[in-house]
Structures are given as structure tokens and as C-alpha cells.
Structure 1
Amino acid sequence: MVTDVIDVVAEFPVDRKALSDLLRIPDTYPRLFPGIGACDPLETVEGDPVVRFRVGTPATEIRTHVVRMTSARDGDSIELHCPAQGSFTSIRLEGDQNRTRVTVTFFAPARMHPGMADLPNSAVVDWAVRGLKRVADLLLGAPTSVVVNGEDAPLRRRADIARQVVAGGVLRTYRPDSALRQWRRLAEYGFNLAGGYASGAVRVPNRPAVVDAWGSRTFAEMHRRTERLAAAMAEAGLGAGDAVGILARNHGAMVETMVAAGKLGVDAVLLNTGLPARRIEEIVQRDRLEALFVDTEYDHLVQYLHTDLPRFRTENAPGDGWNVTTEDLIGDGHREYRKPVQPGRLVVLTSGTSGTPKGARRPHPKGFATVAALMSRIPLRSDENMLIPAPLFHTWGLAALQLSTAVRATVVLPDRFDAEECLRLVHEHRITTLIVVPIMVNRILDLPAGVRDRYDTSSLRIVASCGAPLAGATVLDFMDTYGDILYNVYGSTEVSWATIADPDDLRTSPTTAGHPPLGTRLGVLGPDRKPLPVGRTGRVFVGNHMLFDGYVNSAPPDEADGMLDTGDLGYLDATGKLFIAGRDDEMIISGGENVFPRPVEEALAHLPQVSEVAVVGVPDREYGQRLAAFVVKREGAGLDSDMVRNYVRHRLSRFSVPRDVTFLSALPRGETGKILKRMLVGAGGDPPLPPPALGTAMP
């Protein structure tokens, strides 16, 4: 049993002042001491920071404690007081520039951590020494910021893959004849959408594969119809090595077009429905598209393209005699086409900050390793129902669709997102897995409680979000409302997945991006492309078997030791969880200080008056750069610019206080729901950019 007073003494070959400086920063503790999941700044009292620590794990219990940190002027004495629990920690440092002796005294430590009461004193001492060593390693530059999940252990990884696909029901061994036929279909079409539907046509031919507003198609129908569509596309002159564009919302005909193109060896470029006509014209020319498949509502975006470019409507019904639809092509009766040596690839457009988006060639899944990787962090099961309101032209929506065929899920595809309609579909179809982007999580929470209560969502086991950071306040609010079913996926078009935070991760550390899934290696590297110490912020690099096959017409990202640069800055904590600080081009230097917008966004997201917030860097004559905040208030909320600035001033550094605070009716968003910060950068200060110029509707 742990005692009320515990002394810890340790020595390290580091400079005393440098070690003291780190220990006086509250954020050092959740980064380097396991069991402390988060640190939220609350205020500053007489120069001392007052913070809220999140302590414990879901397995033991999670407690929040308000702690005041005080330190002597010379920095040789630091105390952490928690008056509410009658507990505090004293840290004393002695030494010089070469060596430091640290003495830590814990008073009533069991009152702070729910799992500590039953531990021996030696366990507490060991925990403290290990944490202090990580602080020293940070000062010494120890190359510890690399985590690997099976990538460097091929035999173990193969065993883990087999375990995941069997446990999830992807393969079942009690029907050898069925398994053999599945393998034959996968061998014929590949581990892609075409192979997934072809395999499902053998295993569960009558199970609905795709459900949209116009009806449903079984796995057998998806395989048969896409065979006919591929044959009709070949009859129209398309073949292996060609590329077509698809400009459509989520529906069955869009999926059939992607699958048929892949079967024919034709690359399918998935066009973002929010692109202007000029950008689409540039992509058509750049990628040498041989045909377009377009929803009727987007005719105005392609009407001025060259008339020689064939156009087909991605419709769920026959055409009108003038316009040929995918339904017409399927009904033409063609059956034969030349099988390609390699299936066609899917090309996803990156959400570039300016100019024409780059086309990123998505790789074909590598056997069962792809589904096993995601299942290692998300408990997917076979033969369940999945709702995908996230756009299929977005990497995350597309990845979920590909994953659905491996687990033979029935996929429900709404053509646009509406928060209440989303809950209705969950209720009607007994959805178990919901695939969203962060703005959809916010919109569901924004619904009045009475509206949310109309729908039974108890069937939900998984709500998987990807595409942008989720605010910590939003994470906790959603899980408190719907249970611990939220999964936060961090990745990109170029690296596919990087990390996944499961509900336990998010309960402990609401802002974390999580751990890497099976077969993934992740490193936080410095300017020299070498690993940094745990806890230090650097560039995030990722390696796995699903790294993209390059851009259509652009140089690839930087590479280091087989890992690609994500363009994000972040750090690893002592447990191997990743935290994203922001994009490398979002960090500003204000008065010589490195400042990130995200901590300011996180702080403001806790204000009950704030519905949404975005913070960007803008030029400043005196300091070089400064932060500007754009806030969407909740209806009827009383909030002004001074209140926002004062709130931040008492929680973060003075350089983090946004000098400009602009209130908007909505933040500018792209078709995937991602905030378009580039539209805000030029709007800092007075006069504010008017809301009508910023507002965009969700698809």
C-alpha cells in the first residue's frame, strides 16, 4: 500500500537550469509522465499557472484535478498544489551545468491517481524516475520519437493479420469450398472494390451491398452490373491505361462506375464536387481524361468543356434519349471485355491550399493486411451495416467503402449530409458503423436534445471520424452523449492512415491522434530527418504498405527511412500516442516566439458560447505575425472580442492572445467539411470579411 509521503531522489547528466525550466512548464507532465492524460490551462494567479490535469485511465477511472504550480525565483524549487485533494508535490533541484540532483516528495499521492492506492511505494518511485529520465532525454536529444506496430517484425505481423481477419469474420474456415471460391475471385480481380464485390457475390450473394435513396443492390447484383458496365465502357472505346473523371455525390451509380473502371484497367479520377468549372477543366487537360461521368446537378460545371469529350450521366435510371446514363450502359447487353494486366487505380484529389489540387494515385490494398491494419484499432465485424455520409471522393469516405467490401457490410449512402437525417438512417437501418468527418460530429451535437432523442441509435458500435482534428471538448461531449464509441483516425491522401485513437485513448487524452495501427511505423523527426526525443515537437513521418503511388503530375513529399512527410507537426508522449500541433505552414513566429493556432482553438472550444472557431496567423508590422480568431457564436450567446481575448490571456502565453477577433455566421468549409483557413488569412483585423463571402454549405 502506498504511503502518504514518498521521497524520490535521482541524478541526471544535464544542466540544472534547463531541467528546471522544463519542469516549470505544465505541459511537460502529460507529455512525459504516463497516467497524466491532458493538461488544460485555466488561469494565471499572481504569475503562477493554474491548470486542470486529467489523471488516470478508463480502466482505473479518470479524475480531473485543478493544480496550481509555484516556483522559487531561482527555479530550484517547484511545487504542484491540489488544495481540493489536500495533496501536493515538491520538486527540488541541486547541481550545475553538467549534473543535476532532483529530489521529489509526494504528499498524499493516492488521492490524485485512482490506481495508486494499491501500489507499493517502489512503483511510484519507479514511475517518477522514469518520467524524470524522459525529461533529461529531451534535453540530451535522445532519438526516441519512433513507434512501430509490427512493421519491423514480419512474422509477428503476419500472425497478427491472420488473427484480425479471422476474429473479424473476413475469412471463416468452416466452409473450405466457399473460402476457396472467395480466393479465386480475389485472385482474378485483386484486393480492391471489384474483388470485394466479386468475393461477396460468392459468399453472401443476396446480402444488400449498397443502399441509396433509389433502392439497393446485392453483392451479386453489384458484381453482375459492373461486369456489364465495364463491357459497355470498353465498347465505347475505353481501355487499359485510360483515365476517366467521376463528378458525383454518394450513390450506387457512382460506386458502380468506380468498380467498372477498375475492372477495365481504367483509372478513375474522383472530382471534388466543390471545385469550380475552371479547376475541373484544368484537371481534365492535365490528367488527359477520356470521358466524364457526371451527376445531372453538376452539368453547369462541365458544359463548356470540349464537345469531343464523351460525357455520361451517373444516374440510377435510364436517360432521356439525349443523355446516356450508366443505367443505359448497363442495359445495353454487353458482356465481354478484355481483362487488364493491372486493374485501374483510383485517383483522389488533395485538398491543396491554392491552385489546382494534385491528383494522388491510391494504391491497391495489399491482401488482407489493409483491412487487418484498421481492424487492429477499430473493432469492425463482418456482415453488419455501415453508413457513409462522408464524401466518397474524399480519402476517408473512399477508404471506408473499400473496407466495407472486405467485411461484407451493407453500406448506406446518403447523397448529402443532414444531421437529423443521419440519425434517422442509423435508426432505420440499425447502423453499427458510422463514417464521418469532424464537422458532422459537431452538427449532430448541435441538434436540440429533443430531436436527437427521437431516434434510437443504440445499434451504433463505432463512429469513426477523419479528415481534420476533433476539438477535445467535442470528443468528450460526443462520448458523454452517445457512449464510448468514437474513433479518431489521423491520416492523409498520401500516407492513408497514420494513427487511430480509440475511446480509451480519447477518454484519457481527448486531443490525441492515437497509436499507429498494425503494420505502421511513425516518426517525429527534426530538420536533419533524425528522430527527436519523446515530447519534442517535430515533423510527422509515416510508413506503411498503403503509401500512395505518387502524384499524377507533381513531385512527391519528402521521404526519410521509408517514411513520408505528412506536412504536420506533432509529438509523441511517453505512451506512444501522437499529438498534432498543426500544419507546418500554420505555425507563426510572433515576437520571436513559435506560436500554434490549435491550442487557442482548443481553449476557445471549451467556451459554452462558442459553436465553432478557427485561428490563423496574419502579418503584423511590430511582431512579424499575430493570431486572428474567427468565432461562430451559439444562438443567443453573449460574447464579445474583449471576453475572447481575456479568456485566452489568462490561459495561454501573451503571444497566443488573438489581437483580432471576428464573429461570423459560419466558417468557410470545403465539400468535405474541412475549414478553409486560406480564406481567412486575408481577413484578419478590420474591416472583417463579411460572412456571406465565407459561407459554404455542406454536401
Structure 2
Amino acid sequence: MDLPFVVATLTRRGLLTPGRPIRVAAQLGALRRWGWSLAGELRQAAARDPGCTAVVDEHGGTLTYQELLDRAERLARAMRAGLGVRAGDRIGMLCRNHHGLIESIVAAMLLGADAVLVNTGLSATQLATVAEEQALRVLVHDDEFAERLLGLPADVLRIDERGREEMTAAALPGDQLQPPERDGRAIVLTSGTTGAPKGARRPTPNGFGPLVSIIDRIPLHVRDTVMIAAPIFHTWGYAALQVAFALRATIVLHRRFDPAATLAALAARPCDALFAVPVMLQRLMEVPPPDPRPPLKVVAVSGSALPGGLATAFMGRYGDVLHNLYGSTEVSWASIADPADLRRAPDTAGRPPHGTRLKILDQAGNPVPDGQVGRIFVGNEMLFEGYTSGAGRERRDGLLDTGDLGRLTADGLLFVNGRVDDMIVSGGENVFPSEVEDLIARLPQVREVAVIGVPDPEYGERLAAFLALRPGETLDAEAVREYVRRYLARFSVPRDVVFVKYLPRNATGKVLNRELRRYYG
């Protein structure tokens, strides 16, 4: 990434504002010694703004950056002395959003251990599988998940909330922690909407480039107050935490997302930015807005597609503050849609940020013409390092396969048609369920919808639409089919229309298609 662009962006966002020379020197020294891991980012923030509020949550109250670092260091020393944690070990984190999760991640990385971010929606069986496949040495967990741990391998040490607090409080002052022999990594589990989750090794940034790519398009500033509603165990929530540390922001956390409580919190403690996943915006739109409206400057979402009409409806209520990042655990980011993009095309994934390459390729690896659907390949500074199983993803010319299909317009806007695995062939025609899903979502009676492909003896595959209606609304299956028939080709009309109370989702809000397929045996 070119230096003038980096400097200009950092200046616009307030990161190059002059400070006390001794503080600036300490900040740069922390980055030089500890690098750009989450532990290094926390150290630089504490060195530059030790008294700045770092985290606010329901149970931990308020912690400054220096207090947060002190607690993480004490926990790290306790893990090393009491549990024998060393560089290269893997420590699982089964926690909701609160200060203890952040301290635990940083403590692991201070020792050079990898933090395995565990989805809080995993069953006991899935959790046992993850613990074995990831070779967990320790599992740090919230008390509410204790019953799910019964099937864990016996050699996995467990630290509950009380245990973590006792270890942190009892840790004796010791030698200053030194940078470990290897950087501790964050291992993010893939969403597992179609099968068992896989561990993806996240790289450590090697400079300002990744941060600049994001804050150039999403206007976040130094010392903003940021609510992270997206789960931190998810790639997007973890990225929000990284950005917040880099900006020395005040982070507001709630263990569980509740739309009314979130709006009340945003009114009680005005926030500059909200990091969320799209389903959270849907739920916020179902709650009457507070008066006055929260003075949000940025609402940044990622993790799944924005349902039809949600972008314009949300901005109609809260202003042109919405930014949608399209990416994945494997590629980090691919494109970002800003409010102007979303006003122009509410279903767009936006444009690649500075320093990101994006190509649409056919099956042979050749670029396709503008407007034609193909496989999305991405290149940036934060491509994942592979799965912990040793497997990887297809790469071409330094670009990584996202597993998605999409198209680019002549002026560079990206549109995502869905997963390669989701596309069906019905009677010889390629059909993209996401296109039908987006259309049905625009019906005012529909609260949420998912469209999937199911086996068909005559056509090979057919579409099935699952609809959850808004309270008090009614809708006829044939009316749904007629509505789709009016706008799309006949092969895009769902043969099956199933009404359900709600769609099965994982902890990050993604619909679990495998659960829907159980309707068909």
C-alpha cells in the first residue's frame, strides 16, 4: 500500500494527531516490540492513552486501557505459572461479549498461545469435536455454558468466570512479560451453516495497511465510542475489536443482543458507531425508534447479505450511516458498500477498498466480462493462513477463492449471487436462490425468508421458500409464487412455499440451511 495514501488516511481519522512526545515514543515502542497482534494493539493504546476508557460492559463496569492491559498481563502470568501455558498452545474461548473475553484473548497472545474463538451456539457434541480437532489445552468459558462441557476430553483444563477472576486477582507481580517466541494467532471457526465448523488461522497484520483499508471507506476516528454488537467470536466482531484498539476507542459491550435494550443503551451512552450483523438491523427495525434518535455516525455490518430493502429502510430511519462489508473468515474483506452505493443499489456489496484486488473468474480461471456471473476471487493483506486441519482454498494469481458467485458492473460495483454450493440447476437452468430470497423479502408481510434447493425427480432440483411472517400478517403460498412469477423467470418460481414461525439461525445470525433441508428427509 502506497505511503502517501496511508498517511493521508491516518491523518483524516486522527491517528497522526500530535501527542506528548513520551507517550508517542512509548506507543511506537510497543508496536515495534509486540507487533500488530491484539496484544500489541492493546499495548500501544495503553502506552498512548492509559487513562482513556477502553471497555464498558454490564458486569465489569468501566476499564481504562491501562487497567485492561494490567488485568490481561496478570491473567497471562497466572496461566503461565498455574497452568503451564506456553507459546504454541491453543486456548479456547467460549464466551459472550464482555471484558473477560477480551482479557482472555490478549492474555493468550501475550504468551504466544493461539486463541480459538468458539461459537457460543455450538452443541455439546460439536464443542467436544472442536476441542479435539483444535487440540485445546485450556477452555475459558462463561458459567452459562458449563453443562455443554461434559463431553470434553478429560485433559482440557477449564476456567469459568469465577476462576478467571480469581486467577487475575491472585497473580503476583512478576517479571515484565517479554514478546513471545511466536505471535499468538486468533483461530476463528467457520460458521458451520452446512456442516462442522473448521478452524481458520487469522494472520497478524504487519503494519497499518489492513486498518487503513477499512477506515478509508468506513469513517471511524480516534477515540470514537463504538458498540460492538456482533459476536466477538465471529470474524466481524473480532475485526471490530482490532479496529477499536487501533483507534483507542471506547468499546461498549452487551452479552446478549436485544433490540430494545440496544437502542436504550445507545440513547443512554451515545455511540459514534455500531458494529452489527444484518439480522440485528432487521430486529432493530421492528422496535420503535427512540426519541431522540441515537446520534450514530456509522453503522457497519457484515456476515451475511442484506435482505431486500433493509438498507434503504434503515437509512430512512437513522440516516445515511450504513456501511456493508462483504468478506469471509478466509479472505477478511473483499468489498465495502458505503451509503451512496447502497442508495444507488441496496443489494450491492460495494467496491474493493484500497489495496484489495478482486476478480470474477470462470471455471477455467479466466476473467469473465462485466455483468457476467462467475467465481469471486480476492487478494489483500489479510488472507487467512489456511485451516488448522492443513487444508486450504484454491488460489489463482495470489487471489483466494471466496466460494461465492458474483458479478461486477462496468463501474466496479460488486453484486453477490450466493454460494457456489447454493446455486441449483433446475430443468437445465442455473438458478440463484439469493435472487428469489431478496425479492420475497420485499413483501411487507414477510419478516424473514430463506430459499434453498431441494431434490426433484423431474427437474433434478427445485426451489423451496421458507417464510416467517410478521405478527398478525397472513399470506397465501400461491400469492408468493405469483409475485415471483411477475418479476423473475418461470424456473425461479419456488415450487414449495413453507410457512414457519422463525428461521433457524446460528449465533451470528446466518440461516442454517441444513436444518431447513430436514423438512425433506
* TM-score category of the 2 structures, normalised to the smaller one: over 0.9
2:294 and 2:153 mapped to 1: Cα distance? 51
1:623 correspondence with 2:489: no
User: Aligned partners of 1:278 and 1:174: how far apart in 2?
Assistant: 52
Aligned to 1:421: 261
Task: Encode CA deviations 1:56-75: one digit per residue, 9 max, x unaligned.
Answer: xxxxxxxxxxxxxxxxxxxx
Q: 1:384·1:432 contact (CA, 8 Å) conserved in 2?
A: yes
Aligned equivalents of 1:642, 1:438: Cα separation in 2: 29
SS at match of 2:309: helix
Q: For residues 618-639 of structure 1, what are the alpha-carbon distances to aligned partners after superposition, in whole Å with 9 as ceiling and x for unaligned?
A: 1111111110100111122131
Decide whether the 8 Å contact of 2:276 with 2:299 is kept in 1.
yes
Q: Report the alpha carbon displacement of residue 404 of structure 1 after superposing the two structures with TM.
A: 0.1
Cα distance in 2 for residues equivalent to 1:282 and 1:605:
36
Report the equivalent of 2:75.
Answer: 229
Unaligned 5+ segments in structure 1 are 1-153, 690-699
Check 1:219–1:595 CA distance in 2 against 1; reply closer, same or farther (3 A cut): same
Does 2:159 match 1:312?
yes
Q: Is the 8 A contact 1:404 1:411 kept in 2?
A: yes
Confirm or deny: 8 A CA contact 1:430 1:457 kept in the other structure.
Answer: no
| 1:512-661 matches, cutoff 5 A | 512-661=348-497
Structure number with greater Rg is 1
Alignment of 1:371-450 (within 5 A): 371-447=211-287, 449=288
| Structure 1 residue 335 displacement after superposition | 2.5
Q: Aligned partners of 2:355 and 2:304: how far apart in 1?
A: 23
- The one-letter amino acid of 1:199's match is Q
> What's the Cα RMSD here?
1.4
Is residue 217 from structure 1 mapped to residue 63 from structure 2 by the alignment?
A: yes
Question: Which residue does 2:498 correspond to in 1?
Answer: 662
Aligned-partner Cα distance in 2 for 1:334–1:293: 22
Given that 2:93 and 2:118 are in contact with CA atoms closer than 8 Å, whether structure 1 keeps it comes out as yes
Distance 1:252 1:305 in 2: 25
In the alignment, which residue of structure 2 is the partner of 1:180?
A: 25
Partners of 1:374 and 1:530 lie apart in 2 by 28
- 1:329 is displaced (CA, Å) by 3.1
3-state DSSP of counterpart to 1:603 = helix
Shift of 1:680: 1.2
The change in CA–CA distance for 1:306 and 1:595 in structure 2 (over 3 A counts) is: closer
Aligned partner of 2:167 among 302, 320, 328: 328
- Structure 2 residue identity aligned to 1:198: R
After TM superposition, the score normalised by the length of structure 2 is: 0.97
The alignment covers a number of residue pairs equal to 518
Q: CA deviation at 1:666?
A: 0.3
Deviation at 1:246, TM superposition (A): 0.9
User: Could you tell me how far apart the structure 2 residues matched to 1:416 and 1:327 are?
Assistant: 24
Greater Cα offset, 356-365 or 165-174: 165-174
> Following the alignment from structure 1 to structure 2, what is the Cα–Cα distance between the partners of residues 312 and 514?
42
Q: Is the 8 A contact 1:495 1:564 kept in 2?
A: yes
CA distance in 2 between partners of 1:414 and 1:190 (Å): 29
CA distance in 1: counterparts of 2:474 and 2:76, whole angstroms: 58
Q: Please report how far the alpha carbon of residue 679 of structure 1 lies from its aligned counterpart in structure 2 after TM superposition.
A: 1.4
CA contact (8 A) 2:33 2:179 kept: no
Give the deviation of 1:175 after TM superposition. Answer: 4.1
Q: What per-residue deviation string (whole Å, max 9, x for no partner) do you get for residues 397-417 of structure 1?
A: 000001001111100110000
The CA deviation at 1:282 is: 1.6
The offset of 1:682, in angstroms, is 3.5
Deviations 1:461-513 (A, max 9, x none): 00011000002311111011111000011000000010000000000011000
Of the structure 1 ranges 590-599 and 304-313, higher mean CA displacement relative to structure 2 is found in 304-313
Partner amino acid, structure 2, of 1:258: I
Counterpart contact for 2:137–2:155, Cα < 8 Å: no
Query: Which residue is 1:42 aligned to?
Result: none
Alpha-carbon distance between aligned partners in 2 of 1:299 and 1:243, rounded to the nearest angstrom: 20
Question: What does the per-residue CA deviation read over 1:247-274, in whole Å, with 9 as the maximum and x for residues that have no partner?
Answer: 1111001100000100100101011111
1:254 maps to which of 86, 101, 105: 101
C-alpha spacing 1:636/1:353, structure 2 compared with 1 (3 Å) = closer
Q: 2:110 aligns with which of 263, 276, 279?
A: 263
Alignment gaps of 5+ in structure 2: none
Q: TM-score, normalised by structure 1?
A: 0.72
Query: Partner of 1:616: helix, strand, or coil?
Result: strand
Q: Could you give the per-residue CA deviations for residues 494-535 of structure 1, whole angstroms, max 9, x where no partner exists?
A: 000100000000000110000111210000001111111111
Amino acid across the alignment from 2:76: A
Secondary structure of the structure 2 residue equivalent to 1:589:
strand
